[in-house]
Structure 1
Amino acid sequence: MCYRRGEGLIRIKYRNVLILAFVDQVAITMSQQGLSILSVDFKNYAHLGVAQMGILFSTVALGAIIGMIPAGIILDRFGPKLVAWLSGAAIFIVMGVLALWLPTHFIPLMVLLGFVGFFLPALSLTGAAAVTTVFDGSRHEGMAIGFRQAATPLGGIIAASLFPLLVKTWTLKTVLLLIAVNVGGWTMLFGTILHQAPLKTHPSPASSFRIQYLWHQIKKLKMPLWVSFLLSPGQYALLTYAILDLHDRWHIHLTYAGPVIALALLGGFIARIWMGHLSDRGVPVPKLIRLTAGTGAVSLGLWAFIPRSTPLVALLFLFLALGAGLDGWNALLTAWIANVTSDDERGIGLGLIGLTGFIGIVLFLPVFGFLIRFTHSYRPAWGLLAVIYVAGIIVSRPSSPYKTH
């Protein structure tokens, strides 16, 4: 009786961690992707050009590059509870300053968004590390990771559906303040239910910064790192530029373009959960990544060359596929890292994956913007992204054995 009761309490604890990790990631994504979804409003507020937009929002990714490795090291050293509290408070303060000040000049705006990007990795890594540790070895590990990571497109769906309308009803400053309260509050609440890991008197190599250890991890995770680098720009290009493409090339009003982007993110939401289920059924994670990235490459090719006479219904189905392909692979990458790293190196592994992904974003988004500017068309930029996704498919083979459930 007591044994069964203990098992029930453990299941409730696991369920609560997963649910709050999910809600927290929804809030994080509403902050992270919401900034890109509000790109048109930033453009109008600060009188930015298309190329400046690419630079501005790649600055968020640049901040994340700088913050990713420290976040992973601190996570391995002190555990997710303390990191959740500190990162939640920090993002609330920085986002609050952005909301209350919101400069119209390009440079100070870029600096503030860089600070936002710096603190975002700690938020996401905390939830990913907590879920992968709690469900490590469980037969539902892939599904749990997929469910938590499915919060990312769901947060994007909410942001894409809600923020453009709220900006028209309120102001950009008010929406940014709402984002600050939402993301900071949920992350600190998530920290309250996590178990405080004992402070390590003899830190593992993962939690003490050593170049040799870092280089060893990079070599060990070489293939997933390349996949992250090549596939990550797709999500941000979709969020930052697809809404402008719908408006400029297809003359769809921005009020309706937001829900179309939300439909794409719904495709990513469904794909993440379904791919997690398939990984629990024994399908190799790299094979599932190739499947989702292939869907993305084909969809990008169609989007680049599709004629203007295409019916709206076909366009909606295409965006559903775009979301599945450009956003559906992310949870699989987290599962891949969970399968090839130990608990003591989970934070640094996830940090490296996030780091290379944001490097890809920083390098690609400005190129995307300049291509549009110099060719006066979105088609070459989407075509280039399709080629990059094909490269991601080619390199998506396992770097080392991974567990099956």
Structure 2
Amino acid sequence: MILTLLVQALVSMSTVAIPVLMAVAAGELDVPSSSIGIFMSLIYLGATIVAPVSGYFIDRFGPIGVSQICLVLCALGMGAISIPVIPIMIIGAFIMGIGYGPVTPASSHLLVRTTPYTMMSVVFSVKQTGVPIGGAMAGAIVPHLIIFLNWKISAILVGLSGLILGFSLIPFRKHYDTERSDLSRFSWKNAAGSIKMVVLHNELRRIVIASFFFSTMQLCLISFIVVYLINDVKMSLVQAGIVLAAAQGGGIIGRVLWGAMVDRGTGPRLMLGVLGIAMAAGAIASAAFSPEWPFSGILIVCTLYGAAAIGWNGVYLAEVARVAKPEFAGMATGGSLFFTFAGILIGLPAFSLIIEKSGSYPLGFGIIAAATFICGIALLLSHKSRSSKN
């Protein structure tokens, strides 16, 4: 589990570093700060394309081998991001997405083989804390790197950290990549099959739809909170980075806590429904920020906001792996992440467009809050319906 957590953290750090870097780079590149959403969407375009075929790569190269490839691709993407030429940066963001997509299916494939059923949610939640840990590292470290160096060198250093981890995983392949097969063949038909599996599965369909909107909420928080706090609330880059790190810290605590609660008897749909409503409340509270708010108040709100909006993934992914048979865990996770990443791919440009046309970050947060609130209510009703049948 430590290995999967480290991989998740370094890949996440690379991804979350983008909005921090772009908060500074946008001026030099002469692009609006809302263009952060476009770059993040390009990352998730790559992830959306690759996630459904992750099962093939896992069968062919093994989960550790796939993790190494992902780390190398993210490092290459960060290298391209460091070059202040928009077309090259666009290619870099897309390459990072190709590296980001298979990371979670690979780790799920590895853990589902070794995790007791009764500990599935908490183990997957702990593994998924790598995502907010990496995000917290990006929020706490990257602003200082930018100040002491510059945004271009900072991007290169973030990429190098992932490259170093990728090479350090070589000795572990012999132990963990024992089930890989040279006979595995790539097929888009299999990719479509992983998506079809999720869509037709009654137990998964509703939470997968909810994940579409939950992931949009999560990335709107991660991608726009820094530039929102700098532009509208008049914070410094370092202060805004601390708030981002606090939101990610809330996500770390939330992922473990919500996973433990599910393993102790709380229904997964009940938990996801409550979190949908909670993240909507966090978005509405964040929309009310102003320069008059005390820094401590913003810190508390964003920590709680992050606990819901960043903390839901572990429960979701554990439920996907639990419902699917162990041998299909990677395939089911890849199929479900197609819709999760698609939410980001569609939602972030929509959020950017709302900000660009209206000039209002609070309006954008309010609209996505309404969507996640509706999803939360739907999941609560689903849980109640299943409970009454049982």
Give me the TM-score of the superposition, normalised by structure 2. 0.88
- Which residue identity lines up with residue 123 of structure 1 in the other structure? V
Distance 1:191 1:126 in 2: 16
Distance 1:255 1:330 in 2: 27
1:112 to 88, 92, 95: 92
> Which residue in the other structure is 2:114 paired with?
134
Percent of aligned positions that are identical: 21
The 5 A counterparts of 1:41-56 are 41-56=24-39
The 5 A counterparts of 1:164-313 are 164-190=143-169, 192-193=171-172, 194-200=175-181, 209=190, 211=192, 214-220=195-201, 221-305=204-288, 309-313=292-296
The 5 A counterparts of 1:26-41 are 26-41=9-24
Deviations along 1:311-363, one digit per CA (max 9) or x if unpaired, are 33322211111111210101111111111111221112111222212211121
- Which residue identity lines up with residue 157 of structure 1 in the other structure? A
The 5 A counterparts of 1:312-391 are 312-391=295-374
RMSD: 2.6
Deviations along 1:179-205, one digit per CA (max 9) or x if unpaired, are 222223324434632422334588699
Q: Is the 8 A contact 2:213 2:372 kept in 1?
A: yes
Residue 139 of structure 2 is aligned to residue 160 of structure 1: yes
> Which residue in the other structure is 1:147 paired with?
126
Distance 1:362 1:374 in 2: 19
Q: Is the 8 A contact 2:19 2:36 kept in 1?
A: no
Aligned residues: 379
Deviations along 1:193-219, one digit per CA (max 9) or x if unpaired, are 242233458869999726456423322
Distance 1:386 1:210 in 2: 32
Deviations along 1:133-165, one digit per CA (max 9) or x if unpaired, are 22142x333222111111211111111011011
- Which residue identity lines up with residue 148 of structure 1 in the other structure? K
Distance 1:146 1:312 in 2: 29
Give the CA deviation at 1:238. Answer: 1.1
> Which residue in the other structure is 1:3 paired with?
none
Unpaired runs of 5+ residues, structure 1, are: 1-17
1:95 to 61, 69, 78: 78
When residues 278 and 191 of structure 1 are mapped into structure 2, their CA distance, relative to the original with a 3 A threshold, is farther
Distance 2:366 2:177 in 1: 48
Give the CA deviation at 1:132. Answer: 2.7
When residues 261 and 211 of structure 1 are mapped into structure 2, their CA distance, relative to the original with a 3 A threshold, is closer
When residues 67 and 310 of structure 1 are mapped into structure 2, their CA distance, relative to the original with a 3 A threshold, is same
Q: Is the 8 A contact 1:276 1:332 kept in 2?
A: yes
Distance 2:377 2:168 in 1: 41
Give the CA deviation at 1:283. Answer: 1.2
| Bigger mean CA offset, 31-40 vs 195-204 | 195-204
Q: Is the 8 A contact 1:206 1:344 kept in 2?
A: no
Give the CA deviation at 1:97. Answer: 4.4
Q: Is the 8 A contact 2:354 2:364 kept in 1?
A: yes
Q: Is the 8 A contact 2:47 2:100 kept in 1?
A: yes
Q: Is the 8 A contact 2:80 2:91 kept in 1?
A: no
Residue 21 of structure 2 is aligned to residue 21 of structure 1: no
When residues 270 and 50 of structure 1 are mapped into structure 2, their CA distance, relative to the original with a 3 A threshold, is same
Deviations along 1:21-75, one digit per CA (max 9) or x if unpaired, are 2222211111121222322133133221134332222111111111211223322
When residues 205 and 255 of structure 1 are mapped into structure 2, their CA distance, relative to the original with a 3 A threshold, is closer
> Which residue in the other structure is 1:14 paired with?
none
| Bigger mean CA offset, 148-157 vs 39-48 | 39-48
Distance 1:191 1:225 in 2: 34
The 5 A counterparts of 1:58-73 are 58-73=41-56
